[in-house]
Amino acid sequence: MTAVHRPATAVIVDGYSTGAFLPPAFAALGVEVVHVQSTPEPMLTMLQPDPAAYRERYVLSGEDGLPGTVAALAALEPVAVLAGQEPGVPLADRLGELLGLPGNGSALSAARRDKYEMIEALRAAGLRCARQSKGADPDALAAWAQAEGGFPAVVKPLSSASTDHVYVCRSAAEVAAAARRVLAATDIFGSRNTEALVQSFLAGTEYIVDTVGVGGAHYVCGVWEYEKTELPSGRRIYDRDVLLDPRAEPVPELVAYVLEVLRALGIEHGPAHAEVMLTPQGPALVEIGARLNGNMNPGFHDACLGTNQAHLTALAYTRPQEFLDRYAGRVYTKHREAVVHNTRTELDGEVAAVDQAAVDEIAALETVHLVGVKLAPGKRLRPTTDLLTSPLRIFMTGPDAESLRADHRTIQTLKDAVYQLAETPAEA
């Protein structure tokens, strides 16, 4: 009897949000995927994985727990285990280790998720970073900021994302109040914040540096500058992520620093998404995730960069030698000008409908590649205070920067027509 040949299998842990781009990237290389959910219940605060994209699904719970999951996965003889979203990083590290697969190992998993441990690992490696303290006592954190951290100071959760509960504080009283808000909340992934983090403020311009690696040999697949806008409250929020020329300053300096960060945190294999502040003293890490960029869109990145982080990740895990030959040690080529625009609004109310004609009018602009509509009917539209409350994400690419800026100005006249609100605002 002829043996039945099954395609190779990769394991994706917590394939939420942009983790949804991984199954098609692996499929394009002839690799099937299975999904492991690291929590008993799904994380409903994020875009859910598509069940149809996975051959099988597992939940890390029940009497068998980790040993049962490892045994079930071992029977599949997987070629890779990786995280689809940040909460899955520690479990993906451990599963890969137990299955004997290439990965980052579990020794520094905590430093890849916990922002306090992350910065302390950089300090131990002698890299430039913020001063910091953590704890569950808001008054103690305020006292530390007063005595050690200085003002302004930044207060945030230990393991969240997307500017969730991030506060810039200018006094001890503001630090204490912000810490209380953090401790009273859950993070973006649905976990209760048991401690808050306070850090010294990093002044400067903020950048994204995205990478993919195999065995510590990395390809830099994009460097973007954050352009921010100021709200009437004085709070600064993200407006545009602008793709930079890899040959222009400060890209080489940022890349050199991030490669040191990757070494310090043991991120040798797979994707990473770093946010770095270029201070007057030089680059300093804001935070890094061992996962895809949350603003990554494969078609958009293919257009402006010639490839995308999901494809590169699948290649790194399933055809490592090809990745090393084609990409390792190199930096991206900028094919077109590109921007990711996160719109803001002052509207407040329940979404009654999405006006498709308004969406289509924005999409028809010459430089608009894709309009991401974040809210469905029945959801609450709130005045924008951070990335989580930005109502639209618009991917833009074109031949020159002025074309993108012209369409950006036009979008400001159209964006608030996308959502039709109910006559009576929803209760908070």
| Total domains in the fold of the chain | 4
pLDDT tens sequence across 237-246: 889 999 999 9
**Mean pLDDT for all residues in the chain:** 93
**314, pLDDT greater than 70:** yes
- Together in a domain, 268 and 368: no
Per-residue pLDDT, 162: 62
Domain end (from 315, 335, 355): 335
pLDDT tens sequence across 99-140: 999 999 999 999 999 999 999 999 999 999 999 999 999 999
**428, pLDDT greater than 50:** no
- Together in a domain, 231 and 242: yes
Q: Coil, strand, or helix at residue 77?
A: coil
β strands within 187-311, DSSP E: 196-200, 205-214, 217-230, 236-243, 270-279, 282-289
The answer for residues whose C-beta is within 8 angstroms of residue 414's C-beta and 6 or more apart is 358, 361, 362
User: Is residue 115 domain-resident?
Assistant: no
Phi, then psi, of 172 in degrees rounded to 5: -60, -40
User: Is residue 124 domain-resident?
Assistant: no
Residue 270 maps to which CATH number?
3.30.470.20
Per-residue pLDDT, 62: 56
pLDDT tens sequence across 317-356: 999 999 999 999 999 999 999 999 999 999 999 999 999 9
Query: Domain containing 221: what range?
Result: 202-335
- Together in a domain, 215 and 271: yes
Question: What is this structure's pTM?
Answer: 0.93
pLDDT tens sequence across 156-205: 999 876 667 888 999 999 999 999 999 999 887 778 899 999 999 999 99
Q: Coil, strand, or helix at residue 273?
A: strand
**426, pLDDT greater than 70:** no
- Together in a domain, 210 and 326: yes
- Together in a domain, 286 and 316: yes
* The token pair that represents 12 in the structure block: 């994706």
Measured CA to CA, the distance from residue 11 to residue 32 in angstroms comes to 9
**1, pLDDT greater than 50:** no
Per-residue pLDDT, 235: 75
Domain end (from 101, 123, 145): 101
**424, pLDDT greater than 80:** no
Domain end (from 335, 367, 402): 335
- Together in a domain, 163 and 265: no
Q: Coil, strand, or helix at residue 225?
A: strand
User: Is residue 238 domain-resident?
Assistant: yes
Residue 91 maps to which CATH number?
3.40.50.720
DSSP letters, 10-62, are EEEES--GGGGGHHHHHHTTTEEEEEEESSSS--TTSPPP-GGG-S-EEES-T
* The token pair that represents 85 in the structure block: 């979203």
- Together in a domain, 148 and 247: no
Per-residue pLDDT, 149: 81
pLDDT tens sequence across 366-393: 999 999 999 999 999 999 988 889 999 9
More confident residue, 297 or 163: 297
- Together in a domain, 209 and 291: yes
* The token pair that represents 238 in the structure block: 């993200």
User: Is residue 163 domain-resident?
Assistant: yes
pLDDT tens sequence across 218-237: 999 999 999 988 877 777 88
Residue 423 maps to which CATH number?
3.90.1170.30
- Together in a domain, 427 and 356: yes
pLDDT tens sequence across 24-68: 999 999 999 999 999 989 998 888 999 999 999 999 875 568 999
User: Is residue 121 domain-resident?
Assistant: no
Residue 295 CB-half CA count within 13 A: 31
- With tokens 């608009």, the residue in question is 368
- Together in a domain, 344 and 320: no
Q: Coil, strand, or helix at residue 208?
A: strand
- Together in a domain, 177 and 240: no
Res. 75 pLDDT band, cuts 50 70 90 = very high
